[in-house]
Amino acid sequence: MATKTIKIRIKDSTSAKTLKNMSRSVNFVWNYCNETSFKAIRYNSEWLSGYDLQKLTTGSGKELGINSTTVQEVCSEYALRRKQFKKRKLRWRGKKSLGWIPFKKTGITFKCGFVKYAGHSFKVFQPDRLPGKGEYGSGELCEDASGRWYLCIAVEYEPEYQAGKGEVGIDLGLKDLASLSNGEKVVNGRYYRMMERKLKRAQRYGKKKQARHLHRKIRNKRMDALHKASTAIVKKNALVVVGKIGAKKLAKTKMAKSVNDAGMSMFKTMLKYKASAQQHCIFVEVPENFSTQICSNCLAVSGPKGPKDLGVREWVCSSCGAVHDRDVNAALNILRFGRESLVS
């Protein structure tokens, strides 16, 4: 079992005010700790621990309208920070401090998509992400600078990692980012295409700042997709074969300048270093000679020829009658080239 922290936005129509009120109680506890601890140091030369502070504040939660574990967490957090910053006194928490309500596991429950805390229920934006019973640890409700509230909580999850034994050939493409020999495709999502249209519009009207912003957004989105896809591929497979992209393949197409060619080499780089980081996975690069023309079923050269037939997405082998998706067939050939290169 591993743990990670998830962050879910809380709907703020009614809850923001309630949460803000409760965070004032948290501030009250914090400031009390600050005062008391400072006095103890000054008059008794005594450094109160988190546990000491907890004893002093026991039972105050109910009166303050916050969970008792919250009071405990504030006390231990206070002692921790004071130690960390090596100070006799920390900053006062006031109106300007961002709202913060920590809690322990037992201080919170989730029911029917609602977060239940200190007798209040809060609606969240992605209820399906809320952890199930016993699958979470401590956490906090916290506010960001624009007054939005979030639930941040440690959740347990089963790392799904299992060294894969599969083999896969990958055809890097112009239309789709990559086609795999098992028929899967790595594509640019709808969101991505929408952003690209927006970018073109911005460029046409000379909106430089907006264009730059969109460009960055698109790049991030693409990187993210490539990372996810390459990680999944490397995990599932023991052999990953990729075709070397000839300069000709790019130059002969209209899309040579498209953002995709940058994506292709980036994807290849990711696969390469992720495979090398895994004991179980071999990465092979092979020349992709005739990979689109050879029928992966009977090995006859019966497919569409060269870039002028790039429009042909699907074809039927004239010798064996197999129906091929152009890119998946290429990926199957690339996989075969890779296997052969390892044997010879």
Q: Hey, is 10 helix, strand or coil?
A: strand
- Taking the least distance from each CB to Zn ion, the nearer of 255 and 323 is 323
> Contact between 330 and Zn ion (CB under 5 A)?
no
Q: What does the per-residue mask of binding to Zn ion show for 305-324, with x meaning CB under 5 A?
A: ------------x-xx-x--
Phi, psi of 173 (to 5 degrees): -130, 180
Number of residues that bind Zn ion (CB under 5 A): 8
Helix, strand, coil distribution of the chain in percent, nearest 5? 45, 20, 30
Whose Cβ is closer to Zn ion: residue 60's or residue 297's?
A: 297
* Cβ–Cβ < 8 Å for 338, 286: yes
Task: Give the nearest distance from C-beta 332 to Zn ion in angstroms.
Answer: 11
**Nearer to Zn ion among residue 233 and residue 294 (C-beta):** 294
Question: Tokens for 136?
Answer: 């979470």
Element (H, E) at 221: helix 208-236
* In the complex, least distance from residue 302 CB atom to Zn ion, rounded to whole angstroms: 6
Q: How many CB atoms lie within 10 A of CB 213?
A: 14
Q: Which of 80, 232, 256, 298 is in the footprint of Zn ion by CB under 5 A?
A: 298
Stretch of 146-154, 230-238, 246-254, 289-297 lying at the interface with Zn ion (CB under 5 A): 289-297
Q: Considering the complex, state which of residue 269 and residue 319 has its C-beta at the smaller distance from Zn ion.
A: 319
Contact pick of 21, 76, 97, 297 for Zn ion (by CB under 5 A): 297
- Residue 295 interacts with Zn ion (CB under 5 A): yes or no: yes
Residue bearing tokens 């997709």 = 225
Query: What angle (nearest 5°) sits at the alpha carbon of residue 70, between those of residues 67 and 72?
Result: 120
Shorter beta-carbon distance to Zn ion: residue 194 or 320: 320
Give the helix/strand (H/E) hosting 328.
Answer: helix 326-343
Binding site for Zn ion (CB under 5 A): 295, 297-298, 300, 317, 319-320, 322
